[in-house]
Homo-oligomer: A and B are copies of this chain.
Amino acid sequence: MSMEKVVIVGASGYSGEELVRILSQHPFAEIAGVTSREHAGRPLAAVFPRFAGTRYAGLAFIPSTIEDIIATGARIVFLALPHGVAAGFAAPLIKAGLRVLDLSADFRIKDMATYAEFYGEAHHAPELAAMSVYGLSEIYRGQIKAAQLVACPGCYPTSILLPLIPLLRRRLIKAGSICVFSMSGVSGAGRTVKADLLFAECNESVRAYSVPKHRHLAEIEQELSAAAGHTVAINFTPHLIPVNRGIHTTIYAAPEEGAEPSQIAAAFAEEYAGAKFVRILGDAGNLPDTKMVTGTNFVDIAWRHDPRTGRLVLLSAEDNLVKGAAGQAVQNLNLMCGWPEDAAL
């Protein structure tokens, strides 16, 4: 069987680097190109010493142009670019008939007014946003298989949506009661050279940010609304904690009248039957711990019912760079190509 060629555009950030790491193990996909404005011409291992001695060590970065990308012969392209930059690549690649896995926020939002509200400008390619599939693998598996443009979810949304969607779809919780609290490792901010991301500013520190309106709320509420069948607004507060990797989310939600605790377990079992990367820890035993998922594509989900307040507590953990970014993108690649969903993962 010949290998499917893929290209990673913008491979010099953390998500791009993680894509290289994962795809280096892929049995069916071959990295035909990595692009970087800054590093064009340099071999991968010169930019990422970690990859010396591995499969793609000698692969040289190519310039980030449409022509160079198409010239690789790849038919599938990962965009690991900042918000706003990805859209400029997606349009010509789609037009040229390639399939695109976009890790940025550019095509996640379906409602253009919401996009403008959260991202501060009108969307440049609403027709592409309309045709994109939201790449939450377990929820949109069927559509992803056939998609030409997959908008991979943000790291926080993945950790929040997977615990909530099964419950909202089954009317087990009150949408208006959802209160979310997440903590992320610093790699979630990308390889951005900013003073407040310096080691000595993050270590021995924890702080909330983007309160009360983080951009990820746009896609979170879009998908929660789709699951609930009506418009949902929630509270969400992200916190930066001194770990490299890992997102932990804790959610409070009030059960709907008449919903039984036992229905929670049933909902998860049903929704995620056969989902290899969702580990349901249940309502007893271990709680999610990021160190149990870092370096893997798993998301761990547990819950507890609090009889004192009546609320449900939902907890999840994932690796923000794997299930929260590159891993889920490769999971989507596997779906798109009809390979085993866990190839290389």
Which residues of A are in contact with B by a Cβ distance under 8 Å? 14, 49-50, 52-53, 176, 179, 181, 183, 185-187, 191-195, 197-209, 211-213, 233-235, 237, 239, 241-246, 248, 250, 252, 276-277, 279, 281, 286-296, 298, 300, 304-306, 308-309, 311, 313, 315, 317
Contacts and interface: CB of A to CB of B under 8 A. Distances in A.
Contact of A279 (B53, B202, B241): B53
7 contacts: A49-B292, A52-B279, A181-B237, A203-B242, A204-B291, A206-B243, A241-B243
A239 B186 contact: no
Contacts of A306: 212-213, 235
Contacts of A52: 279, 292, 298, 300
Contacts of A179: 179, 252, 311
B199 A248 contact: no
For this chain, the copies found in one complex come to 4
Nearest to A294: B204
Q: Which 3 A-B pairs have the closest CB atoms?
A: A212-B306, A205-B291, A207-B289
Contact of A246 (B205, B212, B244, B279): B205
B250 A181 contact: yes
B49 A286 contact: yes
A116 to B, nearest CB: 16
